[in-house]
């Protein structure tokens, strides 16, 4: 079955879950609010500009996970889903996912955002396969470090290739939907790349290459 692959932030969601998790932590007083908000905003702007140092960002974003128990983190995440994520679940994104489900495609989300934040969001879309940046664990606690390759830029391709080998699948007939120029390495690999509400750089590339450009926000 062909793969239908979706970026998450600003593609299926009308916002960025990684950024919003930081906003949520600051609003709850779980992190030092003013400093954390400034750093969170800086990293987000660097991501959009294509200059993000992913390992520096992950040291920042994963540290709060290491400072609290899993049960507490999960309780906060349920609140986060209600407050920040449910309002930005795009109805048109749900319809697009269902279109591919009805076609019999294998559904996957691939995202640079960590798996703790994104696994419940993938479940909300009914998407079983998730490739996300994996936070390292020691028993039932997060360490604040990354396990394996972050699924960012070329890392998304490497992680997907490993998944394809493990599941004995290929990219014949595959689609990938993304908003970001950071995803060009993976968009170039699939048979059907689609730019979704793209940033300026991706829109320019999509027009040059004749890729479809769609909106899930209209």
How do the domains of the chain map onto residue ranges?
3-14+89-214, 17-87
Q: Which positions are annotated as active-site residues?
A: 7, 9
Q: Report the CATH architecture of 3-14+89-214.
A: 3-Layer(aba) Sandwich (3.40)
Q: Which CATH class, in words, describes the domain spanning 17-87?
A: mainly alpha
pTM, 2 dp: 0.94
pLDDT category, 43, cuts 50, 70, 90? confident
Summarize pLDDT for 64-74 with one digit per residue, the tens.
999 999 999 99
What pLDDT does residue 40 have? 82
Summarize pLDDT for 10-19 with one digit per residue, the tens.
999 999 999 9
- Cα–Cα distance measured from residue 183 to residue 198, given in angstroms and rounded to the nearest whole number: 11
Summarize pLDDT for 102-157 with one digit per residue, the tens.
999 999 999 999 999 999 999 999 999 999 999 999 999 999 999 999 999 999 99
Q: How many CB atoms lie within 10 A of CB 105?
A: 18
CA nearest 209: which of 217, 199, 194, 200? 194
- Tell me which residue has tokens 């209209």: 218
Q: Is 17-87 the same fold as 3-14+89-214?
A: no
């Amino acid at each position: 079955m062909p793969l239908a692959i979706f970026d998450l932030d600003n593609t299926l969601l009308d916002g960025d879950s990684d950024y919003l998790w930081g906003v949520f932590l600051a609003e709850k007083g779980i992190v030092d609010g003013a400093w954390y908000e400034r750093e969170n905003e800086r990293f987000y702007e660097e991501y959009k500009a294509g200059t993000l140092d992913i390992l520096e960002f992950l040291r920042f974003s994963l540290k709060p996970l290491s400072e609290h128990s899993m049960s507490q983190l999960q309780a906060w995440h349920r609140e986060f889903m209600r407050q920040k994520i449910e309002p930005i679940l795009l109805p048109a994104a749900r319809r697009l996912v269902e279109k591919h489900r009805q076609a019999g495609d294998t559904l996957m989300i691939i995202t640079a955002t960590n798996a703790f934040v994104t696994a419940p969001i993938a479940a909300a879309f009914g998407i079983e396969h998730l490739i996300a940046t994996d936070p390292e664990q020691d028993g039932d606690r997060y360490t604040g470090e990354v396990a394996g390759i972050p699924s960012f830029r070329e890392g998304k391709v490497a992680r997907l290739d490993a998944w394809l080998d493990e599941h004995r699948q290929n990219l014949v007939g595959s689609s990938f939907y993304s908003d970001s120029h950071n995803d060009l390495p993976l968009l170039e690999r699939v048979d059907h790349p689609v730019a979704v509400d793209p940033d300026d750089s991706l829109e320019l590339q999509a027009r040059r290459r004749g890729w479809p450009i769609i909106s899930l926000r209209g």
